[in-house]
Amino acid sequence: MISLETLILITILSPLLVCLLTPFLSSKPVLRDILGPIGGIISSWGAIQLMISVLNGDQPRLELLQIAEGISISFVVTPLGAVFGLVASVLWIFAAIYSVGYMRGNKEANQTRFYVFYAMAVHAALCIAYAGDLLTLFIFYEVLTFSTYPLVTHKQNELAQKAGRLYMSILVGTSVILLLPAIIWVWVVTGSLEMSQNGVLDGNINPEYAPYLLAMFVFGIGKAALIPIHKWLPAAMVAPTPVSALLHAVAVVKAGVFTMLLILTNVFGIEFLSKTGASNWLVWLASFTLLTTSIIAIYKDDLKARLAYSTISQLSYITLGGALASSLATQGATLHIITHAAGKITLFFVAGAIYVGAKMSKISELNGHGKSMPLIFLAFFIGSLSIIGVPPMGGSWSKFFLMLGAAESGYIMVIAVFCISTILNAYYLMEIPARAFFFKKEKEIKVKIPVLITVPTLITCVLTILLFFFIEPFENLTSIMVNNL
């Protein structure tokens, strides 16, 4: 039997190993490209084992390194972390396969560099998932930003450079100016960097200051992309699609909302928040972001840009769920991390498939192409249904819990926000399969989509359906999380 410490190590180190080995295999593309999926399988196996142990009531813990007195790098698997770790590692398998198909199909340059930083980013995301204290969380939050910079600027042209600059300045700027002092503030008032299931601030901070501290966290976590710090996400869409798919729909943004949820539940504590109302303003900010970006998405003709704004809107669901400070809403927010990840990665996979196969990136160009790429558009349709929250797709569960949570904490308006947003979601997402299947084709295009792209897309699409039927273990995890409160 492998000890839990080793399991954590296996899970977080296998992507790092992939990252370190890849440069040595640059002359053997087949071996190099197979490393990613293998790493993904090993790491997901570890993540599943860890999740099972958490379900059995354990709390795996590992202290890696002591930097100075009171500062160390340590890992703890919380129920929330187990969820995020599982999502990041499992989806990495498919994204790794997909990126091989994409990079080859598109004949991109500097493929080795791409795979190195891709694996590095996954490593950082997993370390965030299992971060045992605030400093470890912050460190890998920054590692994630820096490792994705070469991916965003992969094309190395003027546009990519500009996007890269915006990406770095927002993410690094907010985290350094606001997140770091917020963390140190917590350190000063509580005397340690540890987090706990019930929050650590109750009784340690003057409740009057709590909203300000929360604001520093909220605007410091740029990766959660709340208005007005959301601009980096659409800018980052210049990256190759596998990056947008795994990182900007799953790893990076989910690291953002994961951090947000962790701060709300394990630093502030739901009870403290609902008692003091420190997060009331956040409910409205998140609702505002949620609706505004949904409306912006409608006007975007570029498929990836529309998906980017849709992502921002969906991230706000999760932040909102945390800010509602009720146990049901927190459960819903956690479940939404899973269901949205599976749905959105499918949509991005499709966007990339269309780009590689037919060199199209605008929604208005898609008219009538449903017949030449039926499976791809079917996958998009199913993924969209899940995002909208129609049963029998996974997405319906999380929305259900979020609405229950809003009712529980007495925000009737928020329920209305959810309903309006669902309509908007349907409006801007359904346009794409509708154009593909029902509109008249304008011109004939030869379509050729590599198998390595189609297969992962279909698998993640099936995952969104399976999530509806097999949500139970995750629901158990979230109830462990809130029952401890």
- CA dist., res. 309 & res. 294, Å (int): 7
Residue 20 within binding range of another protein, rule CB under 8 A? no
Q: Which amino acid is at 80?
A: L
- CB nearer to another protein: pick between 184 and 447: 184
Residue 185 within binding range of another protein, rule CB under 8 A? yes
Decide: 75 and 132 in contact? Cβ < 8 Å. yes
Other C-beta atoms lying within 10 Å of the C-beta of residue 26: 15
Residue of 104, 110, 187, 475 interacting with another protein (CB under 8 A): 187
Q: Which stretch binds another protein (CB under 8 A): 28-36, 40-48, 106-114, 132-140?
A: 132-140
- Which residue do the tokens 């590095």 mark? 120
Return the ∠ at Cα 479 (arms to 399 and 44), rounded to 5°: 85
Burial class for 365, CB neighbours closer than 10 Å (0-12, 13-18, 19+): middle
Residue 121 within binding range of another protein, rule CB under 8 A? no
- CB nearer to another protein: pick between 178 and 358: 178
- CB nearer to another protein: pick between 183 and 387: 183
| Shortest Å, Cβ 155 to another protein | 11
Residue of 188, 413, 419, 485 interacting with another protein (CB under 8 A): 188
| Shortest Å, Cβ 229 to another protein | 14
Number of residues counted as binding another protein (CB under 8 A): 29
Decide: 395 and 386 in contact? Cβ < 8 Å. yes
- CB nearer to another protein: pick between 67 and 423: 67
Residue 63 within binding range of another protein, rule CB under 8 A? no
Q: Which stretch binds another protein (CB under 8 A): 77-85, 140-148, 312-320, 447-455?
A: 140-148
Residue 52 within binding range of another protein, rule CB under 8 A? no
Residue of 19, 48, 103, 180 interacting with another protein (CB under 8 A): 180
Roughly how many angstroms between the first and final C-alpha of the chain, as a whole number? 31
- Which residue do the tokens 């192409």 mark? 369
Decide: 323 and 264 in contact? Cβ < 8 Å. yes
Task: Write out the two tokens for 14.
Answer: 């296998």
Residue 110 within binding range of another protein, rule CB under 8 A? no
x-or-dash pattern for another protein, window 71-90, by CB under 8 A? x-------------------
- CA dist., res. 268 & res. 272, Å (int): 6
- CB nearer to another protein: pick between 146 and 284: 146
Residue 165 within binding range of another protein, rule CB under 8 A? yes
Q: Which amino acid is at 123?
A: H
| Shortest Å, Cβ 145 to another protein | 10
Residue of 1, 30, 56, 65 interacting with another protein (CB under 8 A): 65
| Shortest Å, Cβ 184 to another protein | 5
Other C-beta atoms lying within 10 Å of the C-beta of residue 257: 28
Q: Which stretch binds another protein (CB under 8 A): 173-181, 198-206, 285-293, 298-306?
A: 173-181
Decide: 36 and 99 in contact? Cβ < 8 Å. yes
- CA dist., res. 280 & res. 161, Å (int): 38
Three-state secondary structure call for residue 67 = strand
Bridge partners (DSSP) listed for residue 403: none
| Shortest Å, Cβ 172 to another protein | 6
Residue 66 within binding range of another protein, rule CB under 8 A? yes
Task: Write out the two tokens for 116.
Answer: 């190195």
- Pick from 131, 127, 160, 156: which is nearest to 19 by CA? 127
Binding site for another protein (CB under 8 A): 65-69, 71, 135, 138-139, 142-143, 146, 153, 156, 161, 165, 168-169, 172-173, 176-178, 180-181, 184-185, 187-188
